[in-house]
Structure 1
């Protein structure tokens, strides 16, 4: 029963879901929205979800969209359509007990409707069931006959045949049985959310709920005191979760205060030593490995895009499609040239990518990469797609030398804080080459930039700006490898 003192805040499914994750998150969303920090990654994921939902609608050409931002009118329009001839309905808007929902798809069935929520993931996640239970409860209260409640998620085995034909992209999972018991809990969820919104800001300490099932955009507000950046918490020990927990329990907040005898394993000991003395450790074996390799030497890096909805014939959802490479070529010690390729964004980039890469790396000499499984897999995938290029690509794969394991085994600087990412290693060796000055500064930004280039409405001037930024970013990655290899080989 509702508390009579509780204000009846308007609720939506998304607000209930926020409350289920953390009551404080919902309270801040409603009462202190200016504290929210939304990063570009979240915006990109939202855009993907919107596009996937629109594509699902296109699979039912006789459907009717309940459009507009006037939700009251949307409820009226939905009821009018439900009272007429059965047709697919998109964004059907229903309400019960002040809780409003918009269903992605309402598909006519013999005895009612299938209610379908469309998701851009490739499987049914646990929190989707909460989502579906709320939708189903509201529909039930609105006396809408549902024959099933389903989650439509992307089938990652789907291969795009081209021509805009996306039949088979979605797999429909009936979750009616899984949510049957959950529906009875929805009124309690509604009341709890209203109680929270009607009261003062909840006092909830940061914890696991800050990132599950979503990263909370209010985390900075809730965690204003971050450990001293000059300190080195035990968590910098790589793959040391159990030891870290023990050290924390014993009261150690800084790795430098931990006695040497408490550190086991040579990798952890190296991290502890470098952190304790504040200086890098470089094993000369790294230099011997590099010095033994002949010239010419090639340093390559790929950038890829993995759209949820495949764009090119023969690709699958979320398949990593390479669109750019950078290659620094060292023909003799310190004698360097640079080559690059960037797709135009208008056609399948795989074949021209591979042909230009094969020409660039020639037939002899080591090919340096940083984290070989990534580049190797992309080359193998293109070899399967372009069998005529397979021999040359496979020969290039055989020449790959991975700098990452060399770094992991033989180098550590305290500023790396337990990571061997190239963007963490580079500033400890060549700080003037850090990525801070770049418009495109990481792989996610590279994907977003190329995605914008692919859009037909992007103006030529903007495309050129993005292309220049992508070329500079990818070149920085391969120049970083050059500097790291030289540092390992020369010891400075």
Structure 2
């Protein structure tokens, strides 16, 4: 059976032949949640790129045979105009260029990307596009890649002039041209295989993109592989090269890092490690104890005036306040509407945390960074924000140095610590169960495409998730003290 090729299929094969084979033959195994989100962003960035090029012709036709014909007409039209999604084919390989700009008698091809810089795989993309266009007889005078300009500050009003920066890549693309036929042949060879290629999981599972077939290829491992040693680096590579598959089989003498020794000892014994000094440290914390957690959105295309691409914009907080008598009160904030969420976010947070008591967080770097940004943005609140930062107590390093359970498998994420302490609070009963899922849920809330019931369901899911994060910290402290 013969399969047509596209740029995406060729690049999939470049990343991993198994990925291409599964894409064509086993789409039932595909988990494209992350891919869909990235593609949605890419489409939006592409639409903005088109709006910034005047008098362009869009080849917006799903039937590729018609798209090929319309492109032929657009290339021959007089006067010549920019073409978006120009579609050409050569030797069974079909590609679509984001932007073609007339330059005299030739065309400049520009690929539009949602990344903050040009990446090697994007240059390979452009090389494939260029090769097919040139082979199809379209005269090109150069190739460029337009990417997100992170210095751009959105002025509002759907004005995205300056969001994209183009970098010329003609020399780099030309250097790769001789390799493109080899990449095409390799992809065809993969698609000619009757069975799934045998390729072990590795770096290609996430580089340059997360593979949508990881759940199929990466099976849960039995035992305790040596790579659970935190920041094991060269040591893990050496142990694996020597044939050590299970951490419990590694001689203690091979471990010099105290944290590695603690992980190894708990793993071998099957019993958790708890340093008694942690109990005293936690008991010494005064009341009220305030536990907080933030959620943020960092869109490639800024949504609120005064924000930059990929800037972390906080839109939600959760706060549990525990008194000396053991009583616990919960407060929360989740942005509504399409206004900038930051003013209300910080004012409601400052009201919730009050003026006294330690403010407990898990890995304070993130929360501190967001608060410092807000202090700079709202100088009238800067003193109060700085006082809040001064009250913060980071639970993550405390737990990392004084507690470890074998089931944590080398991680001190709150989601890995919590099941070893309070399994009734595990996240598997939540519709939103992680930071990326929270971002997607909030994007849906902001969308005009969902109805009121769906929006309310997403809101409830977000509130439940963020509340779980701070309640988890309460339970962890109660257990360890």
Q: Report if TM-score (shorter chain) is over 0.5.
A: yes
C-alpha distance in 1, partners of 2:275/2:175?
A: 60
2:453 pairs, out of 454, 457, 461, with 461
The match for 1:233 is: 225
Cα separation, partners in 2 of 1:77 and 1:173, compared to 1, 3 Å: same
1:45 paired with 2:38, answer: yes
1:253 paired with 2:208, answer: no
- 1:484: how far off? 1.2
The match for 2:131 is: 137
The match for 1:216 is: 211
Is contact 2:294-2:314 (8 Å) kept? yes
Is contact 2:17-2:197 (8 Å) kept? no
The match for 1:4 is: none
The match for 1:88 is: 82
- 1:461: how far off? 1.3
Cα separation, partners in 2 of 1:393 and 1:180, compared to 1, 3 Å: same
The match for 2:429 is: 437
Cα separation, partners in 2 of 1:337 and 1:8, compared to 1, 3 Å: closer
When structure 1 is superposed on structure 2, of 419-428 and 145-154 the one drifting more is 145-154
- 1:298: how far off? 0.6
Equivalent positions of 1:89-488 (< 5 A) are 89-201=83-195, 203-206=197-200, 207-223=202-218, 226-228=220-222, 231-488=223-480
Cα separation, partners in 2 of 1:345 and 1:277, compared to 1, 3 Å: farther
RMSD: 1.7
Cα separation, partners in 2 of 1:381 and 1:131, compared to 1, 3 Å: same
Cα separation, partners in 2 of 1:466 and 1:24, compared to 1, 3 Å: closer
C-alpha distance in 1, partners of 2:398/2:3?
A: 58
Structure 1 stretches of 5 or more lacking a match? 1-6
Q: Deviations over 1:38-95 (max 9, x none)?
A: 2x22221121112111221122242111012111111110111111121121100111
TM-score by structure 2 length? 0.95
C-alpha distance in 1, partners of 2:270/2:131?
A: 59
C-alpha distance in 2, partners of 1:462/1:202?
A: 39
Is contact 2:21-2:197 (8 Å) kept? no
Tell me the secondary structure at the aligned position of residue 194 of structure 2: coil
Is contact 1:111-1:147 (8 Å) kept? no
- 1:331: how far off? 2.4
C-alpha distance in 2, partners of 1:59/1:209?
A: 35
When structure 1 is superposed on structure 2, of 151-160 and 274-283 the one drifting more is 274-283
C-alpha distance in 1, partners of 2:428/2:215?
A: 21
The match for 2:51 is: 58
Tell me the secondary structure at the aligned position of residue 340 of structure 1: strand
- 1:109: how far off? 2.5
C-alpha distance in 2, partners of 1:121/1:449?
A: 22
C-alpha distance in 2, partners of 1:277/1:21?
A: 40
Cα separation, partners in 2 of 1:221 and 1:41, compared to 1, 3 Å: closer
C-alpha distance in 2, partners of 1:10/1:255?
A: 46
C-alpha distance in 2, partners of 1:332/1:29?
A: 57
Cα separation, partners in 2 of 1:98 and 1:302, compared to 1, 3 Å: same
Aligned length: 479
- 1:434: how far off? 0.6
- 1:204: how far off? 3.4
Is contact 2:296-2:314 (8 Å) kept? yes
C-alpha distance in 2, partners of 1:24/1:437?
A: 33
When structure 1 is superposed on structure 2, of 11-20 and 128-137 the one drifting more is 11-20
1:79 pairs, out of 50, 72, 75, with 72
- 1:220: how far off? 4.2
